[in-house]
Chain A
Amino acid sequence: MTEQRLDELAAALGRTRPVLDDIARARIAAGIQAAHDRRDPARHRVRRVGWLVGGALAAAVALAAVIGLRPRPAEPTVAVAPAPGVVRLPDGVPLLAARDATVIGELGQATVTLYGRGWATHQGHRLTVEAEAFVVDRPAGNAPVEVAARGATIQVLHATFAVASSSELRVTVIRGELVLRCPGAEAASVVTAGQAARCEPAPPAPASARPAPAPPGGPPPAPPRVLPAPAPPGGPPPATGAGEPSPAAPARRVAATAPLAPAAAASPARPELPAPRPVDAAVDAASQTAVPTGSLRAIAPGAAEPGAPPPPPAAPAARYAEAERLMASDADAARRVLRALVADAPGAPEAAPALLDLARLAAAGGDHPAALAALDELARHPGGGALAMPAAYLRCLVTQGDARRRACFAAFRAQYPGSPHDADALAWLAAAAARAGDCATAQALIGEFLERYADAPAAPAIRAWKARCDPAAAPP
């Protein structure tokens, strides 16, 4: 009896036909494309870094011999050329990045990626990072890592987060969760995957208060501040030197933005991700500046006090998530947010999906010209390639006239024979042929449908047409 039940359960699982969402499909394709673009540096990363480090050391020794200087062993420096590479750094050795460079280093049990000019160093589980933008990935480990950046402290056990290039500290959590304590803040905030938080900017501090990023090849930066030992996992964040109230700097507030798009807003327990996709997307998203949507969620009391300066612009990812939320309840508002996103951040990764959603909204509202206009815009968009298939399918759906639509679906099937919309396109073509009295074509299409998609929801209706090839049959 139990064995039979097990077979039934196995059969139930075997009958499932998971369908990958178009946006997820495109996002994954974009991640793979990014990996493709970086393939050569990645493939030869270890060898290249070895050569780079060796070359840099040889050059340093030669230079020292020429000018009569001796390198200081207490403060070794690894200078990295502006090419992606991974450097494993011992305690106290800074990772340096030049302007426009991307440098990856393993500092302790965390991987730090610096985008643009800056440096990072660590002592045990305490990291100090000063860079234009950076990403920290802490996939495993039993003790929390504490990251000091721009006067704030970020405590993380297992998480990946990005800090954008802006005057304020803006943290976007891609995976896991972290505890953020802004300079001067009385309380720390927990920021989880899919959320972003910022430390509001303080008045200009003395130049000495914030170390400038070290120039490439220049002298090593000032040694990092010594921070107290981190709290045990799950415990309250420690009071750190960076987090203690300072008389020179008024308290700053922490504000959390809306969650990221669902793709990035995954469960905190997600497994370690391949680096390029979420990290790049989050950095791009967090680095964008755009007009505020007025819908950001503040978690700190007083974040939206009357008379306070307007909130900083939302990242495209947050705006896209806001639009997704609105799509279920207020299509007009969703359309406005999406249109503003496309206008303000046309280069953001969310711009192309926003255009597709604009087309979908217009199609759902019966505004076929607007849908076609959005699809045309998407076709011209540099990021539209990954969404070409769903865009082509939608274009067929909004094409007017049976003959033109049949031609469109036929072309769609020819171009995307394995698409997840193939069954629907085929069913529509079969119905249209039957409706037009073209039984020979209808029967051929019906035969193909039943051969390929016998379990599809439209199969019963298709079987009925097969029996009668009724020109008056309604489409599925």
Chain B
Amino acid sequence: MTVVARRSTPSDDALAAAARSGDASAFAELYARYVDRVYTRVVHLVGPGPDSEDVLQQVFLALHRALPRFRGESLVSTFLYRITVNVAYDHQRRRSRRSVAHDVAALDALIDDAPTPEDRVRRRDELRQIFELLERIKPKKRIAFVLVAVEGLSLAEAAELVGARVEAVKQRVLHARRELVALMSTAELDPGHRPGGRP
């Protein structure tokens, strides 16, 4: 029988405290612990491709800068995800004036459970469609929609991450849904219209 020996892993708080005092290995451990989860959230929020890696790096650089201000009033993970949302928001605001094309390879890399090539193509089209739709709504609404409708957070959890009241987040999600449905209806009425194109 194989004995899976697990080290006693330090808590997030302990790592954050060590990183705050300049322990680079503690920060590296935090990075290793959260990079995949943050990356998933970043891709959901800003889309796949090189932008998402840049945002990911900015998130951890921002965490590095912000750790001295972290007083343990929330979980480290919540603190990190809040930073993630803020960095993603800034990124979307900066790029809001240009359209983003999602290439096939970047979308394909997100699909790992398509049993047949046809399924893969269908999944890829779905992803392209949702990313193109999300590009068309304002960053605040997009973030609220992704957190609640895509990632399944409660309104309260999403509100904590975006730093807004629950009611405000609820309104953003509702508005986002309304706008996305309208965009989809327009695309259905006019098949030549691409949701990612300019209005």
Expressed in whole angstroms, the minimum distance between the Cβ of A406 and any Cβ of chain B is 5
A440: chain B residues at CB < 8 Å are 1
- Do A18 and B150 touch (CB < 8 A)? no
A457 at the interface (CB under 8 A from B): yes
- A-chain residues with CB within 8 Å of residue B61 when the two chains form the complex: 31-32, 35, 274
CB proximity of B60 to chain A, nearest CB, Å: 5
Interface size class of B (residues with CB under 8 A): 35 or more
Out of B5, B34, B98, B188, which one reaches A269, CB within 8 Å? B98
The verdict on A66 contacting chain B, using a C-beta distance below 8 Å, is no
Contacts A12-B126, A12-B127; A415 near B53 (Cβ below 8 A): no
Q: Is the CB of A74 closer than 8 A to any CB of chain B?
A: no
Given contacts A406-B2, A416-B32, contact A36 B64 (CB under 8 A): yes
Tell me whether B188 and A2 are in contact (CB under 8 A).
Answer: yes
A270 pairs with B51, CB closer than 8 A:
yes
Q: Which residue of A is nearest B184, CB measured?
A: A2
| Residues 118-143 of B at the A interface (beta carbon under 8 Å) | 123, 126-127, 129-131, 133
Report the separation of the CA atoms of residues A263 and B2 in the bound assembly, to the nearest whole angstrom.
39
Taking the nearest CB of chain A, how far is it from the CB of B187, in angstroms?
A: 9
Contact A6 B177 (CB under 8 A): yes
B167 within 8 A of A: no
Q: Is the CB of B127 within 8 A of A438?
A: no
Contacts of A20 in B (CB 8 A): 35-36, 39, 53, 56
Q: Quick one: given A15-B113, A18-B109, are A438 and B1 in contact (CB under 8 Å)?
A: yes
Docked complex Cα distance between A273 and B58 (Å):
8
The answer to whether B150 touches A10, judged by C-beta atoms less than 8 angstroms apart, is yes
**With a CB–CB cut-off of 8 A, which chain A residues contact B150?**
10-11, 13-14
A32 contact from B3, B27, B181, Cβ within 8 A:
B27
Q: Is the CB of B33 within 8 A of A418?
A: yes
Contact at A6–B151, with CB atoms within 8 Å?
Answer: no
Complex alpha-carbon distance, A24 and B43, angstroms: 14
A198–B145 alpha-carbon span in the complex (Å): 48
Q: Which residue of the partner chain, among B7, B32, B111, B152, contacts A419 with CB atoms under 8 Å?
A: B32
Of A14, A39, A441, the contact of B1 (CB 8 Å cutoff) = A441
Which chain A positions have C-beta within 8 A of B60?
A: 28, 32
Task: Tell me the minimal C-beta distance from B126 to chain A in angstroms.
Answer: 4
A interface: dominant SS: helix
Residues of chain A contacted by B4 (CB below 8 angstroms) = 410, 413-414, 429
Q: Of A16, A36, A433, A455, which is within 8 A of B127 by CB?
A: A16
Q: Which residue of B lies closest to A420 (CB)?
A: B36
Report Cα–Cα, A457/B50, bound state, in Å: 25
Residue among A6, A11, A24, A419 making CB contact with B181, cutoff 8 Å: A6
Task: Tell me if B180 is interfacial: C-beta within 8 Å of chain A.
Answer: yes
For window 200-225 of chain A, which residues contact chain B by CB distance below 8 Å?
none
A3 within 8 A of B: yes
Give CA–CA (A432, B145) in the complex, Å. Answer: 43
B44, CB-defined interface residue at 8 Å: yes
Chain B residues within CB distance 8 Å of chain A: 1-7, 9, 24, 27-28, 31-36, 39-40, 43-44, 48-54, 56-58, 60-61, 64-65, 91, 94-95, 98, 109-113, 123, 126-127, 129-131, 133, 145-146, 149-152, 177, 180-181, 184-185, 188
Chain A to chain B contacts (Cβ below 8 Å), 13 pairs: A9-B126, A13-B127, A13-B131, A16-B44, A17-B110, A18-B39, A18-B52, A20-B39, A31-B61, A271-B51, A414-B4, A418-B36, A441-B2
Extra inter-chain contacts (7) besides given A33-B24, A417-B6, CB under 8 Å: A7-B149, A16-B110, A17-B112, A32-B27, A33-B28, A277-B57, A410-B2
